[in-house]
Amino acid sequence: MKKPVEEGNPKDAADGFRRSLGEFATGVTVITTCVDGVNYGLTSNSFASVSLNPPLVLWSIKYESQSFPAFERCTHFAVNVLSDDQMDMSQRFARSGPDKFDGIDWTPGVGGAPLLHNTTASFECSMSTTHSGGDHLILLGEVQNFRRFDRQPLLFAKGRYAVSVDHPATRVFTESVEGFGTPGLEENLLSIGMVRAYSAIAARLEKGRKSAGLGLSLMQARLLQAVRTYPDRTLDQLTHELFLDLKSCQEILNSVVVLGLLSVTENGNVHLTAEGQSRLNAIIQHARESERLLFQDISEVDLATTLRVLSQIVEQG
């Protein structure tokens, strides 16, 4: 068994405990209610199903939340499961303060609890019971009505937003990409084809890295490569290589520093350690060997053309 990136007693290492909890991916919901004619809502990823018969769900709220008095008194609440294009909605209701419902579309549900539009699902609940759970109150609700829409859900994992994709183990690498190359679907957008091709290749390479014992995730490996490509830069100057927000990049950096692969100066400049350089060389060598297998049915002429086109796109960017 490999050494964990972090471990300890939650009472002594709260940040590490929080990051470990973040390894459990969840959906993103906005819980709403109406008390004395005033609407309340907050973002929550503590939502979970409890029972089908009777139909029960639960979620939890901090005692110190500004909305706590309202939810403690409410007779009904609604669970709005956000879709993958509603990050702004999640961030709006994650903030404290009034006027969260200004300028957005919603419809009153059972007990007046607002049902947000364009969600992927919603559940209208009557309050069943509550339980104290540490610094949170656990609210159990009985579902009176539900709705499900043909939209993709917004996810949250490792401290950042995510979307769902098919697991690479459920697809064959050589099968055609659905929709790409078919007239009329996405107008044969090159950018979509490139993203799908990258996803397929990256998934196979990451699976190979794990089986080879190289131990790093895709984003950890990308950070090592970015540091070598752009030496003596701060993390803020490297985020464009990871396509993540600064907070998420900081968590990845912390995890790699703990492994002894990167170091950070007092000025915030990030450097590869000798161990990091060695690990990156091994990853690159493994990628070269994997690519020879992945692309063995593609002609050298086509591969050379693809590499030349991609290089031109990078230079233009």
**CB of 178 closer than 8 Å to CB of 165:** no
- Domains identified in the chain and CATH numbers: 14-157 (2.30.110.10), 168-316 (1.10.10.10)
Q: What is the pLDDT of residues 121-141, one digit of tens each?
A: 999 999 999 999 999 999 999
- Cβ contact 220:258 at 8 Å: no
Tens digits of residue pLDDT in 75-118: 999 999 999 999 999 999 998 877 899 999 999 999 999 999 99
Q: What is the pLDDT of the chain when averaged over all its residues?
A: 85
Place of tokens 């509550």: 130
Place of tokens 């610094």: 135
> d(Cα 198, Cα 317) in Å, to the nearest integer?
18
- Claim: this prediction has a pTM higher than 0.85: no
Burial class (CB in 10 A: 0-12, 13-18, 19+), 40: buried
Nearest to 232, CA basis, from 263, 262, 269, 261 = 269
State the maximum Cα–Cα separation within the chain, in Å, rounded to a whole number: 71
Sites in the chain below the pLDDT cut of 50: 170-186
H-helix segments, the chain: 14-21, 68-73, 87-94, 190-211, 218-229, 246-258, 274-294, 300-316
**What is residue 212's predicted lDDT score, i.e. its pLDDT?**
55
Strands 38-44 and 29-35: antiparallel
The pLDDT of residue 172: 41
